[in-house]
Amino acid sequence: MRLLQQLSAKSYSTFALDTQLAELVELESLVELLAYQPDVTPLLLGEGSNSIFLTDQSQTVLRYLAKSRTVLSEDDQNVQLHIEAGDNWHQLVSWTVAQGWWGLENLSLIPGSVGAAPVQNIGAYGAELADCCDYVDFFHWQSREVQRLSKSDCGFAYRDSIFKTVLAGQGVIVAVGLTLKKQSQPKLGYKGLEHLNPQSSVTEVAQAVIAVRQSKLPDPAILPNCGSFFKNPVINHTVFDAIQHSYPAMPFYPQADGLVKLAAGWLIEQVGLKGQRIGDVGCYEKQALVLVNFGQGTATELLQMIALIQQKVAAEFAVQLEPEVRLLGQ
């Protein structure tokens, strides 16, 4: 166990606001987690790529860093994996791609830890974690036991899960079980992947996804950001038809339940906010969905930028954008 006190939050959030953490605890194994008994439930943090500390934190922040990978079973069709929560997500994806296994390639270059992936049910380019997740192992603070939750128990939905609702603050995700495919199953329905075909290799798909992401998203080490800031809104056909009447070229993605998903970045761009900023916080010039900290951004500027985007999009499209990023201390 590692204990740090009175430190800057800049190194623990890729948006890098200048706030303070009173105490940070890092645990390296399940044994350490089982032995750790805090007086007050700590605030969980992965790699900080989807979390922003708006204010100084007096609550203890906990990072669970165990990161082993285990192949549980393998045959001609599938491979089953057990991945501890502290593993880096993109490093895991790169490893599975190198093995020739299908399932995670469209999720390449998403920052963060494996343990954070089920919370958001991370997704990109037509794929979601839920597509290949078998189970999530969850340590409960109250019972001090690890429970295995099946995929159906996890309540996966668009950028949502039971870990954001019923189990929020109740424990720690310690591992994720995945089933990946040996046979070619490319998902190529999103812009930027059109040059690929059903015969493309898993490496080619992953490389294409990485190229698209790198062309749109700034490196947080150079320009602090948390990637896509807002969820892509899912609306009913009445609202969709009204918008499409005025914007016939609008991109959209029909959903299985009869609803329609819109591109939040496109909506923000249409109301003229791409490249706009308030102080040192603004919409990235290459992708309106990404909010960036130009160096000395403040929580006040960020909240003003969020409000401006939500107000303008709601006024023009009657659509309410919701942050995908976790805002702490709001």
Q: Which residues carry out catalysis? A: 159, 228, 324
Distance CA 118, CA 164 (A): 9
Distance CA 153, CA 78 (A): 22
Distance CA 198, CA 185 (A): 8
- The neighbour count for residue 214, using CB atoms within 10 Å, is 11
**283-304 CB burial, b ≥16 within 10 A, e <16:** bbeebbbbbbbeeebbbebbee
Q: What is the DSSP string of 232-269?
A: PPEE-HHHHHHHHHH-TT--EEE-TTS-EEE-HHHHHH
Distance CA 310, CA 183 (A): 43
Minimal CA–CA distance to 119: which of 64, 79, 39, 70?
64
Q: What is the DSSP string of 139-202?
A: EETTT--EEEEEGGGGT-BTTB-GGGTTTTTTEEEEEEEEEEESS------STT-TT--TT--H
Residue 59 DSSP label: S
Residues 6+ apart with CB under 8 A from 95: 69
Distance CA 7, CA 121 (A): 30
